[in-house]
Structure 1
Amino acid sequence: MKKFFQHVDYSLLVSVFLLCGIGLVMIYSASIGVSITKYEYSPSHFFVRQLAFFFVGLIIFSFTMILPYQFYKRFMAPIVFASIAMLIAVFFFGKTVNNAKSWIMIGGFGLQPAEFVKLGLSIYLAGIFSKKQDKLDQFSTSVVPPLSIILIILLLIIKQPDFGTAMVVAAVAGIIIFCSGIQRKHLVLLIGASVGALVLFSFLFSGEQMSRFTAAYDPFSDPERDGYQLINAYVAMAAGGMTGSGLGESVQKYGFLPEPHTDFIIAIIGEELGFIGIAAVILLLAFIVIKGFYIGVIGKDTYGSLLAFGISGMIGVQSSVNLGAAVGLLPITGVPLPFISYGGSSLILFMASAGILINISAHVNFKLKQPAAAPAAKERQVKAL
């Protein structure tokens, strides 16, 4: 254990906790108006709940940071089938929130199974493609089976419907497949099929779903309805300027900007902490993502590298989707900002994922610092760590 902590990347550790700290502070500030409106005698309602989720996440983070990442590979099949089972359970025991049946209530707390599927699928894909490295040229036997699993998961999430999460899951799966080393012709085939499916699927969008594109790219055409949220996000960020109006001094959080503590918390950060606050959050997220990809590149274990790519890609893609929606570059999908937005499922997922990433990093750092050794000696060193 002592050797493990000697090789922990504390820059990653500090970045994760800085983001969680910023998230807790900003949730307290951003949710005051909503808390008073919904829970008259509890202005800190959402903060207290998020704090409870943080401590749960901290326990899971400590566990995943210490547990060797190779452990998950042994159980990749049960993990992915459990993920599918959770998605199916939503249709029987789930609760509908914001027109999506994607929540399961447990003791007054809501859990969103689709959030945890992101990590479960990453573990499965990293494991399956690392085992099939010598058969990647056999498309039907090495690539099609995991593609079938991905398709089942995507269809179950879309059925809820939760298009934002489906977008993130598809992107993360694509990153792992791209990094796995499959042949270029197969990669081109998959990209073409994905684009074709997306275009075909767009014709099935309902009027409400299409309105999200209008809200993103032409919000002022309907400022009182579809464009209302994005316009008020613009107002919040513009009011903050470079340095912000001051912590706790937001005006938009008092009934003007919907979901100020969840989907659009970055707008409140911009209003209160200014461009400097937004830049700090983006830089911390970017550091974790870049560091994660670097770990994947320098790692010698294919499974660890692919898992690092998957986790880093998950954080990067979800951050991009959330931030893109907040500034009108992407449709509003309800995807939370990692480590920052209110939401227990999201916070626990990303803390667990960060713990795994730090564990992979520690093993990579340990191997890099060791002198050349015989295979048997190397195996004993890894087991000792």
Structure 2
Amino acid sequence: MRRKLRYLDYKIFIPYLILVILGVILVYSASSDILLVNGFKPDVYGIRQAIYAVAAFALFGVPFYALKIKVFKSPKFVASFLLICILMLMWLVFLRFAHGSSAAVNGAVGWINLGFINLQPLEVTKLALVIYLAYVLDRRDGKLVAGRIKSNLSHPAILAAFLMCLVIVEPDFGGTAILFMITLVMFSVSGVPTKIALAWLIGIVILVGAVFCIVVAWNPKFLQESYQFQRLMSFLHPFELERKGGAQLVNSYYAIHNGGLLGVGLGNSMQKRGYLPEPYTDFILSITAEEMGVIFTIVLIGLLFYLMWKIMNVGVHAVSQFDALICFGVTTIIFTEAFFNIGAVLGLLPITGVTLPFISYGGSSMIVLTAAIGLVLNVAANEKMLKEKDETIA
């Protein structure tokens, strides 16, 4: 471990650390008023987020960095990790049908109560899918040529589709979309010809757009009472449907407008005082914009994208196909989550309940993202050692 610390990539580690620290501060600020109103201490969620961050770093970040890369390429590790995720998702499906809406939170059954934490299996599944696809596609390196693509990608595609089906039943459309994007990106960068990858992407965009337009134009009665459909309609007509679900987006607009360029000051948000639901999870960026201003918010998002760029850079220059795929997969997780969250806050995308990486409150997200960063740092160190070894031999 001491030897490996010499290869720690600080250009990834330091931005991650800054984002986590800022996240703890912003969670504390965004949640304090709601906690006080409900008779709790104002720092409860801030302290919890700090504990999640420290525990995630010590129990998952450090081990994922310290272990040898070959452990993550082990068939037993990959199969066990994936099987655990499948069993957890199947348990949620059971709860969905056994208890119905009584087990749902915000219209979905997505959490398993472990007492000390509400574990969200989807978060764990994201990383498990990245590791599984990196393992499978690494073994198929050089085989993804015209005429053999279907046979080589059919099995991982079926398994990924099965995971998506389990998630969409919850129902969690945002989570399903993230798993889909992980699969699409990792397939596309694994050696599939560019023309075929672009054809997939264009076809999917057209299909999703067509389904969206048909559902909105049809406005079927059997969907009108659905929580997810109401979110969709509120996205399209937030001010007209402010009393029926559009309040989140409307108050998000108010928060961003109130903040202006420099903000009203940390802790001084008005929208977090009962106006904007989920101010410390889904809409923490709106509260951040109100308190700290648009300039600070852009810098925060810029830091997040800088972290993604540095992870991608490791993948692009990686000698090992497995290492490269891990980096592309982790980047996809962070980018897609940020894309959906920022898009929802700005009213550019429907609200899907996707949180902002490293910033929003949540133990499951913090644990998985920290483990992912630990794995990426492991990959970066492994790449440095491989190149150092090659230079020594040369």
Aligned pair partner of 1:178 in 188, 195, 207: 188
Offset from partner CA, 1:3-43 (integer Å, 9 cap, x none): 321121112111111111111001111001221233x0322
Shift of 1:226: 2.5
Other-structure match for 1:308: 327
Alignment coverage as a number of residue pairs? 374
Moved more, 291-300 or 71-80: 71-80
Residues 199 and 268 (structure 1), Cα distance of their counterparts in 2 relative to 1, 3 Å cut: closer
Offset from partner CA, 1:79-119 (integer Å, 9 cap, x none): 22222121112234574211211111112521000111000
Other-structure match for 1:381: none
Distance 1:185 1:12 in 2: 32
Contact preservation (8 Å) 1:139, 1:186: no
Normalised by the length of structure 1, the TM-score is 0.91
Distance 1:198 1:86 in 2: 28
Offset from partner CA, 1:275-322 (integer Å, 9 cap, x none): 122112111110111111111110000001001100011111111110
Shift of 1:199: 5.8
Contact preservation (8 Å) 1:339, 1:350: yes
Distance 1:195 1:277 in 2: 33
Asked whether 1:34 is paired with 2:53, we answer no
Task: List runs of 5+ in structure 1 lacking aligned partners.
Answer: 376-385
Distance 2:282 2:69 in 1: 31
Other-structure match for 1:120: 128
Q: Secondary structure at the match of 1:170?
A: helix
Distance 2:150 2:114 in 1: 41
Asked whether 1:347 is paired with 2:366, we answer yes
Moved more, 135-144 or 343-352: 135-144
Distance 2:387 2:363 in 1: 36
Distance 2:164 2:197 in 1: 19
Residues 153 and 199 (structure 1), Cα distance of their counterparts in 2 relative to 1, 3 Å cut: farther
Other-structure match for 2:88: 86
Q: Secondary structure at the match of 2:244?
A: coil
Alignment of 1:55-66 (within 5 A): 55-59=54-58, 60-66=60-66
Letter in 1 for 2:160: I
Contact preservation (8 Å) 1:217, 1:329: no
Q: Secondary structure at the match of 1:332?
A: coil
Shift of 1:186: 4.6
Distance 2:121 2:241 in 1: 34
Moved more, 101-110 or 18-27: 101-110
Aligned pair partner of 2:341 in 322, 334, 340: 322
Asked whether 1:277 is paired with 2:323, we answer no
Normalised by the length of structure 2, the TM-score is 0.89
Offset from partner CA, 1:54-101 (integer Å, 9 cap, x none): 222111111112222331111222222222121112234574211211
Letter in 2 for 1:21: I
Aligned pair partner of 2:239 in 180, 203, 220: 220
Task: List runs of 5+ in structure 2 lacking aligned partners.
Answer: 97-102
Offset from partner CA, 1:341-377 (integer Å, 9 cap, x none): 01111111111111111111122233344553449xx
Alignment of 1:195-344 (within 5 A): 195=205, 198=208, 202=212, 206-207=223-224, 208-344=227-363
Contact preservation (8 Å) 1:270, 1:278: yes
Q: Secondary structure at the match of 1:312?
A: helix
% identity of equivalent residues: 32
Other-structure match for 1:134: 142
Q: Secondary structure at the match of 2:142?
A: helix
